[in-house]
Chains A and B, each alone.
Chain A
Amino acid sequence: MLDLGFGPDGFDARDVVTAVLVLVAALMCFAAGVGLLRFPDVLSRLHAATKPQILGLIAIVADVAVTNLSLGTITLALAIVFFQSLTAPASAHLVGRAAYRTDHFDRSILLTDEFASRSPETPSR
């Protein structure tokens, strides 16, 4: 008989949760990597570097919390997710700002640029 590894008492719901969450996380991190390669310029790549990555991290951390269910892991998971979601936008912003100011981006794929046409003291290049 085919052994699917469900253990003696059959099917464990937590294994299903683990499988789903780990797969989601892997897929998201993979997508972030592909996005980094495939997207055309720095500003587009930043989107790939922040968003799927966050969801991937949340999924992995949630899986760790579900499989070792205890107060310690849950609180630690919450802290990790909280700080990661505070710092990822901040770092993306810094990289984006630096890229914009040094012109390291592809202006031709922008439909509009309202930052360039803002009113005062623009350091013109």
Chain B
Amino acid sequence: MRARIASGLVPFLGLVLLWMLLWGEFSLINLIIGMVLALLVSAVFYLPAVRLSGRLNPWRALLFLVRLVWDIVVASLQIAWVAIGPRRHPLTNAIFAVTLRTRSDLVMTFTAEAVSLVPGSIVLDLDREEGILYLHAFNVLSLDDLPGLRREVLATERRLILAAGSLDDLQRLRDAESDGGTSGSSSASAASAAPAGGEGSAS
């Protein structure tokens, strides 16, 4: 019940906050107009409610954001260098699959968003039932680099779950890490599963 109220309230408050951010001042009149508009927008453009986990660890969320900004900087510099710098070898790419551990749409969405901003990957497609992300990785020199890339995606997912995942997802994450891997449905996920816990080595 609490989660259901929160699921309606959080987007509403987000819209009000956005209105005030866009005006750039936090005044009473902005608050009232923002609330009226938020009600109007959520009534007219109805979307199915997002299921929130009802959990947020501010410290973990901060860690996630700091790491995300850092990754954006690194990714941009890398790609800028590949674009401008001399080319020593032909450019090669790869499309690879990662099986996520979460079952939450929200976590999956944010993982996909975050992964697209960090070094090397763009989400090509995803399989929602199985929780598989298909990523296009840029400038992959050999197939030996793929396990490292998978590990980074899983580390991103792990940071997100620790920050705001549901208890169910947390449990799934712990299970996956304690058996040293998920029940790999393909050879791809089996290869990625073993070092799933190694967030520290991901940098």
Contacts and interface: CB of A to CB of B under 8 A. Distances in A.
A71 B125 contact: no
Contacts of B81: 31
Contacts, number: 144
Interface stretch (B16-24, B36-44, B151-159): B16-24
Nearest to B75: A51
B76 A55 contact: yes
Contact of B136 (A38, A75, A79, A96): A96
Interface in A65-111: 70-73, 75-76, 78-79, 85-86, 88-90, 92-93, 96-97, 100, 109-111
Interface residues of A, number: 50
Contact of A52 (B76, B94, B112): B76
Contacts of B143: 111-112
A86 B114 CA distance: 9
A34 B83 contact: yes
Interface stretch (B2-10, B54-62, B116-124, B168-176): B116-124
A42 to B, nearest CB: 10
A57 to B, nearest CB: 10
Contacts of B79: 31, 35, 47-48, 51-52
Interface centre among A51, A70, A79, A110, by most chain B C-beta atoms within 10 angstroms, is: A51
A43 interface: yes
A106 to B, nearest CB: 9
Nearest to B78: A51
A111 to B, nearest CB: 4
Contacts of B123: 89, 92-93, 96
A114 B134 contact: yes
A31 B188 contact: no
A31 B142 contact: no
Contacts of B167: none
Given A55-B73, A96-B124, A112-B146, A35 B82 contact: yes
A111 B80 CA distance: 22
B95 interface: yes
Give 4 nearest A-B pairs by CB, closest first.
A72-B24, A89-B116, A31-B80, A35-B83
8 contacts: A44-B138, A47-B120, A47-B122, A50-B117, A54-B117, A79-B18, A92-B116, A118-B127
Given A47-B120, A50-B117, 12 more contacts: A31-B84, A34-B83, A40-B91, A44-B93, A71-B25, A73-B24, A78-B21, A89-B112, A92-B123, A110-B94, A115-B125, A116-B95
Interface of A: 27-28, 30-32, 34-35, 38-40, 43-44, 46-48, 50-52, 54-56, 58, 70-73, 75-76, 78-79, 85-86, 88-90, 92-93, 96-97, 100, 109-116, 118-119
